[in-house]
Structure 1
Amino acid sequence: MNTFDEREKAFEAKFKQDEDIKFKLKAKRNKFLGEWAGETLQKENLEEYIKEVRESDLVKPGDEDIIEKIMKDFSSNNQEITREELLQKFTECEKKAREELMEQNS
């Protein structure tokens, strides 16, 4: 194996590791979002609601699908939340998820 092959393998390994971290971060963030939204909406079966929120993020690329679901759920329950407030909660949950992942990896 020459230097170029070794370098290519190293780049591939780094890419895979980065993608794994992104996936775990997003999954944890969505769990925290579902937990927060479910508690705020006083869902009876919180675990089921968290699962629904996490699955809603698989509908289309990006975060729009999960935003739409949570906004719709708040509206259906006569609770107000602005898009900006929800995006702020996204940021908070992502920060919490990142901190938790860093703790697990240290």
Structure 2
Amino acid sequence: MSVSAEDEKLRVQQLRALRRRWLRDQELSPREPVLPPRRLGPVAAFWERFLRPADPWRLQKSPHGVVMTNPRIFPGDRILETGEIMPPLRDEHHRHH
């Protein structure tokens, strides 16, 4: 009986070692890819790079292309720089309609 107990002990030890090795093999290292890399066409590759969340174009602080315009001046308004008051518009009589 002692021989079979020794054999049983050795068998259990081998099974444990195999289970541990199998579990270690199931863990993926960060460098081991799960899926093959996707092959993207040129347009899809552009959008994949363009839409990354921390790209420099998303981090711009000052807006480009913003044009400041002066407010419109209407008859009766005072021009602050000169103090001039805009005269009323002339009524133009057109000969058509």
Q: Same fold (TM over 0.5)?
A: no
Higher relative contact order (CA 8 A, sep 6+): 1
Larger Rg: 2
The TM-score, its normalising length taken from structure 1, stands at 0.28
Q: Relative to total residues, which structure has the larger helix share, 1 or 2?
A: 1
The TM-score, its normalising length taken from structure 2, stands at 0.30
